[in-house]
Structure 1
Amino acid sequence: MRNKIAVIVAILATFLSGCHLIAAPSTPTVSQVSTSSPTQTIRSTRTSPPPTLTPSPSPTESPPQFKVILHPDGGVYVGDLVSFEIIPLEEINLDQSTLSVSVEGQNIDLDDLGNFGHYGIAGRYQATLPWVWDTRTTQAGEVPLTFNINPEGIAWEETVTLLPASEVSPPQPKARWAHEESDCCLFYTITDTASERDIESITQIVDLQAMSVTSQMNTQFSKPVVINLIPRTLGHGGFASDEIFVSYSDRNYAGQNLSTVVHHEMVHILDAQIGGDLRPTIFVEGLAVYLTGGHFKSEPLIPRAAALLDPSEQENGLGWYLPLIPLADDFYNSQHEIGYLEAGSIVEYMVETWGWEAFSAFYRDIHPDESGKQSAAIDKALQIHFGITFQQLEKDFITKLLAEDVDPKNTDDLQLSVAFYKTVRRYEQALDPSAYFLTAWLPDVKQMRERGIIADFLRHPSTAENIALETLLVSADTSLKSGDYTKAKRAIDAVGAVLNSMDEKLSTPFLVNSLANAHYQITQILLKEGYIAQTIEVEGMKATAHATTGWADLTEFSFAKQNGVWQGISH
């Protein structure tokens, strides 16, 4: 019998990742393309007619609607192991119901997976069916799927376009899991991807971070740290369970700082290893941010948090401060960047005030409160260890922030950082939903390695629209990190303008913004020549791009805009 497959439903941390490395250029030819309306290329289509009810048991008169998401992303091909997420679009209790799925009239063996429950950080209510449809014996073409939910008698059909195996893009046909060992860690990569290309430098960077983290926490890892290097963006680029996951690609649109994400996630691993009865989320994440010296990058935590205060209290303040008690009780649903910054800052403040040993003793001695609220548990531990309430701690913390001189550059950087990651998440929800951190598709990686499954991590939406917007986000992140705030804002605004146009269902969404249209035109030129853009940087009437043919080797291209049209001029 098929092994039961567990899906990861809790993430200790979502974070930034990716280290952008450029290989030596090769020699392609590039042709010209004129401005045209973007046409979305759909590799997998599903039609969702009104549910057709089964004759027995008695059907409901107005059956609820469901959204069906297929994995892997980016098209379904003969040979894939296909997964399903079935999501009710209206409130309904299906806790005692059973889902069945049939392909061309033949039932799929779901074992005990055909049940509804809550998935991901957001706890989205759905049925999650990992790798249940083996397409190796199914012919390419339009394939009818039938879904039944009993005893409610709900049924409906959808059609999937199953593409020929011969059309799978490289490197997937020959790609496989590979591993590498270093002093601290065991790395899993997928062959012919950026992480395998850069594995030597990656291991050196990670070993240095492991030495730093173990020194900071005065604890050694109990076993080698397992690090999965994923060739697609998921969430904010990194997370940890009993293993670490890092998004690592040349077009990692959620940011590119391998050292930061690895350090952050290694803190989570050692923190969990040391343990505690209740480790409140605000301190779990705050500790990782504090010991890493920043959230998405190195940053002065307390001076930066001071910029969150209201401008009536703090010159150059933004008025974005989140009160700590509600933040502690609903951390992951709070504004992401602000919550992490405040969490890291409060840990830094406590360590500066009472010392590391006293903070650690407090943190490891927090116990669940009967109310179920983490803030109440924190309050009790604060009274025991420091003789103050949570409210008094926050009052003293704000006094510290008010004493800071806020550098206007900190305010500008913070504003743009929040805008950037809000735009990243908006893009994910619109065009790469499996990457959105609250509901990211995170199948059991151990099962994936054992069964040789790579498509769930290797494949992702890659239309011209996806590529153009992702290269804009990469450009924004690069500019933000270098302090070029004007250029960063221009790229962020460009993505926002296109997404607004898509929301308005405009037929030519990229034409609303000249920078976005430049990225889109250049993306189209490269696709026509068989290349996939990984980075695009536009400077006036000139642009530079780095692209691949599906493999990890990068090729550099130069472009110029002549008579309103972008064209290749050198390589």
Structure 2
Amino acid sequence: MAKKIFGWLVILMLLASCTSTENIPTEAAPPTAVPPTEEPPALETAVPSTNIPPTNTAAPPPTAIATAVPSEPDLSIEADGVFLYPIPDVYAGDRVTFQVMAHVPANVDPNAVTVHILVNYQDVAEGTLSAINLAGDAVGLFEWAWDTTDEVGDQLVHIILDRFDTITEGDENRDNNQVALTVPVLDPQTLPPNERNATWVSAETTCCNVYVVSGTAAYRDLPELLMTVETAVTAAAASLEEPLNSKIDIYLIDRVIGQGGYAGNAIVVSYLDRHYASRGFEQILTHEAIHIIDRQFAPERISFLAEGLAVWGTGGHYKSENIHQRSAALVALGQYVPLADLIDNFYPVQHEIGYLEAAGLVGYLIDTYGYPQFKRFYTDVTAEDAALMSQAIDLNLQQYFDITLTQAEANWLAFLAEQPEDRTEQIDLQTTIRYFNVMRRYQSLYDPTAYFLTAWLPYPGTLQTEGNPADLTRHPQAEINVTLEVMLQASDAALRQGDYNKANVLLDSITRVLDNDGTFIDPLAASYLALVRSLTAQGYEVQAATLEGDRAQVQVTGRGTAVLTPLTLTLSGQNWILSN
């Protein structure tokens, strides 16, 4: 295809962590909200006051409702469709971001739905439901809209849709157009010292400008991380045979987002001690760097190919992998998704399956036709080539390789059928898919703002000047969060060591907790909970734990510090006792 004129198309790509954007992520795809079971706390629904600023028209009179066929719900909003950042608590001095998801019927244009936000009856923000998240929901995002300086105590927040009643069809019931939230604003003096005094710190390498927040694990490990960053970016450039033409801004954050980070004009990667969404830090960095570098020659590349190239160029998704063997294992497990379906519905497909298939096809095309020809193909495929992404790829496959998508898929599957069966690869892949499914279920229930369909993905450069360090560091740390995150981390460690039985036993235990509304009735989970409780009561925060019979090897930090301390505990009856 002739090269298209580059437009600022924002493409969200959830990589090995990944959500990759062309420019500022929040302009195109701020995420939706999943009703939290525990976080954020204390957002109590209040009875909306009748004294809020008036609308232009009176509420419509009651009308008869047909009972034979239920009508589609009209424009509405509920309290669990609103998130306030930083999460889970707001402290005086924070600049609060509002993320609003509403139900918008099919006959209403979300861009025509106004959103007004009031704090204690004073307007602080207004706009429309102008963005769409990965789930296809209409979203309003109002970044750093409320300055809470000197506002300690409960504050009344109203979120109002269509305040002046300009929408008639599709908004018959105005009573469900607003929610009121009682938001406690906490005293910042109660924050741990490291967070109360948090500030951005920067360092420079040959390839990159690296930014961390003081008092975090990344700040503690910064000298070693700078070497890792340089290695990862060098590897990314080498895999693409493309020299880096400008320095990359990299932000290392103290919370989990998605599978570990996102990329746009800059890279954001999670780096924390209790990283429960896989420990493949260097792989994620390399993957994200590929997303930055490939825009130098393919600014309009499509998601399916971009993620495939990033996994191929990294040599695996979360760890070093044989892409061909792993793709063959996917087929053997019966998890293969037909390419046209995957390409046209890339993000709704199970994350690890979609990324592996994309990498497998990319690797096959490169091995068969050579990287230079593939690079020309990759550069030219854009969303503007056809009505569907699969059609765009099909057209370009014909031009560059003289095959259709159907033929390419058949040839690739025949190639995979020739690969020797590898049972270990199959078990590893099966356990990996299960691990991430359980991890995302945990996120959706107990850390919803980390879940890739709901995560707010701020552009870090703007956040650094206008927002709060807490936007990228603060996260839920209730007892259930710490316990399940430590268990997820232990399962990932077992998986990486090839101990699939142990990994699955831990996943079984976590699943029972999730199935029982957070009740720790499973003996293994109950033992982890008792361990976390014991150490928390002694002033520690558990960052990692490995249980072997009646002994536990634990990594902890003290409250308000990032200093890691190893501890050994022994189980005595029902109690964990420090041995060192």
TM norm structure 2: 0.86
User: Which of residues 112, 116, 132 in structure 2 aligns to 1:96?
Assistant: 112
SS at match of 2:138: strand
Match of 2:44 in 1: 47
Match of 2:579 in 1: 570
Instruction: Give, in whole Å, the separation in 1 of the partners of 2:181 and 2:571.
Output: 45
Match of 2:69 in 1: none
CA contact (8 A) 2:269 2:284 kept: yes
User: Which of residues 476, 479, 486 in structure 2 aligns to 1:461?
Assistant: 476
SS at match of 2:130: strand
CA contact (8 A) 2:42 2:184 kept: yes
User: Deviation of residue 308 (structure 1)?
Assistant: 1.8
- Tell me, yes or no, if structure 1 residue 180 matches structure 2 residue 192: no
The number of equivalent residue pairs is: 523
User: Deviation of residue 284 (structure 1)?
Assistant: 0.6
User: Deviation of residue 214 (structure 1)?
Assistant: 2.0
User: Which of residues 88, 91, 99 in structure 2 aligns to 1:77?
Assistant: 91
Match of 2:149 in 1: 136
Deviates more, 1:483-492 or 1:210-219: 210-219
Match of 2:359 in 1: 344
- Tell me, yes or no, if structure 1 residue 490 matches structure 2 residue 500: no
Cα–Cα, structure 1 residues 407 and 168, in superposed 2: closer, same or farther, change >3 Å? same
Instruction: Give, in whole Å, the separation in 2 of the partners of 1:522 and 1:339.
Output: 37
- Tell me, yes or no, if structure 1 residue 552 matches structure 2 residue 565: no
User: Deviation of residue 118 (structure 1)?
Assistant: 2.4
Cα–Cα, structure 1 residues 513 and 303, in superposed 2: closer, same or farther, change >3 Å? same
Deviations 1:418-466 (A, max 9, x none): 0000111111111111111122122231122123621111111110000
Match of 1:281 in 2: 303
- Tell me, yes or no, if structure 1 residue 514 matches structure 2 residue 523: yes
TM norm structure 1: 0.87
Instruction: Give, in whole Å, the separation in 1 of the partners of 2:237 and 2:384.
Output: 31
Cα–Cα, structure 1 residues 84 and 10, in superposed 2: closer, same or farther, change >3 Å? farther
Instruction: Give, in whole Å, the separation in 1 of the partners of 2:428 and 2:274.
Output: 22
SS at match of 2:140: strand
Q: Which amino acid aligns with 1:132?
A: A
SS at match of 2:306: helix
Match of 2:552 in 1: 543
Q: Which amino acid aligns with 2:314?
A: T
Cα–Cα, structure 1 residues 281 and 105, in superposed 2: closer, same or farther, change >3 Å? closer
Deviations 1:495-530 (A, max 9, x none): 11111111xxxxx711x2112111111111122122
Instruction: Give, in whole Å, the separation in 2 of the partners of 1:286 and 1:410.
Output: 19
Deviates more, 1:215-224 or 1:317-326: 215-224
CA contact (8 A) 1:9 1:121 kept: no
CA contact (8 A) 2:40 2:87 kept: no
Instruction: Give, in whole Å, the separation in 2 of the partners of 1:494 and 1:10.
Output: 37
Cα–Cα, structure 1 residues 532 and 170, in superposed 2: closer, same or farther, change >3 Å? farther
CA contact (8 A) 1:290 1:348 kept: yes
User: Which of residues 480, 484, 488 in structure 1 aligns to 2:495?
Assistant: 480
User: Deviation of residue 9 (structure 1)?
Assistant: 7.1
Match of 1:415 in 2: 430
Match of 1:200 in 2: 223
Match of 2:404 in 1: 389
Q: Which runs of 5+ in 2 are unaligned?
A: 1-8, 19-36, 63-73, 166-173
CA contact (8 A) 1:546 1:557 kept: yes
Cα–Cα, structure 1 residues 210 and 187, in superposed 2: closer, same or farther, change >3 Å? same
Deviations 1:172-227 (A, max 9, x none): 11110000111111100001111111111111122122222222222211111111
- Tell me, yes or no, if structure 1 residue 360 matches structure 2 residue 360: no
- Tell me, yes or no, if structure 1 residue 145 matches structure 2 residue 157: yes
Cα–Cα, structure 1 residues 239 and 179, in superposed 2: closer, same or farther, change >3 Å? same
Instruction: Give, in whole Å, the separation in 2 of the partners of 1:306 and 1:44.
Output: 45
User: Deviation of residue 397 (structure 1)?
Assistant: 0.4
Instruction: Give, in whole Å, the separation in 2 of the partners of 1:370 and 1:209.
Output: 33
User: Deviation of residue 467 (structure 1)?
Assistant: 0.4
Matches within 5 A, 1:120-135: 120-135=133-148
Match of 1:263 in 2: 286
Cα–Cα, structure 1 residues 257 and 329, in superposed 2: closer, same or farther, change >3 Å? same
Match of 1:438 in 2: 453
RMSD of aligned residue pairs (Cα, Å)? 2.2
Match of 1:240 in 2: 263
Q: Which amino acid aligns with 1:151?
A: F
- Tell me, yes or no, if structure 1 residue 105 matches structure 2 residue 121: yes
Identity of aligned residues (%): 32
CA contact (8 A) 2:308 2:358 kept: yes
- Tell me, yes or no, if structure 1 residue 65 matches structure 2 residue 77: yes
Cα–Cα, structure 1 residues 522 and 262, in superposed 2: closer, same or farther, change >3 Å? same
Match of 2:5 in 1: none
Instruction: Give, in whole Å, the separation in 2 of the partners of 1:369 and 1:456.
Output: 35
Q: Which amino acid aligns with 1:102?
A: L
Instruction: Give, in whole Å, the separation in 1 of the partners of 2:385 and 2:297.
Output: 24
SS at match of 1:308: helix
User: Deviation of residue 393 (structure 1)?
Assistant: 0.3
Deviates more, 1:86-95 or 1:389-398: 86-95
Cα–Cα, structure 1 residues 158 and 367, in superposed 2: closer, same or farther, change >3 Å? closer
CA contact (8 A) 2:39 2:447 kept: no
Instruction: Give, in whole Å, the separation in 2 of the partners of 1:250 and 1:275.
Output: 35
SS at match of 1:388: coil
User: Deviation of residue 368 (structure 1)?
Assistant: 4.3
Deviations 1:360-383 (A, max 9, x none): 122223244564211111111111
SS at match of 1:364: helix
Instruction: Give, in whole Å, the separation in 1 of the partners of 2:193 and 2:203.
Output: 22
Match of 1:11 in 2: 12
SS at match of 2:364: helix
User: Deviation of residue 49 (structure 1)?
Assistant: 4.3
Q: Which amino acid aligns with 2:304?
A: I
Q: Which runs of 5+ in 1 are unaligned?
A: 1-7, 18-39, 310-316, 503-507
Q: Which amino acid aligns with 1:271?
A: D
CA contact (8 A) 1:124 1:439 kept: no
User: Deviation of residue 63 (structure 1)?
Assistant: 7.4
- Tell me, yes or no, if structure 1 residue 427 matches structure 2 residue 442: yes
Structure of higher RCO (CA pairs closer than 8 Å, 6+ residues apart): 1
Deviations 1:212-267 (A, max 9, x none): 22222222111111110011000000221111111000001001122211111111
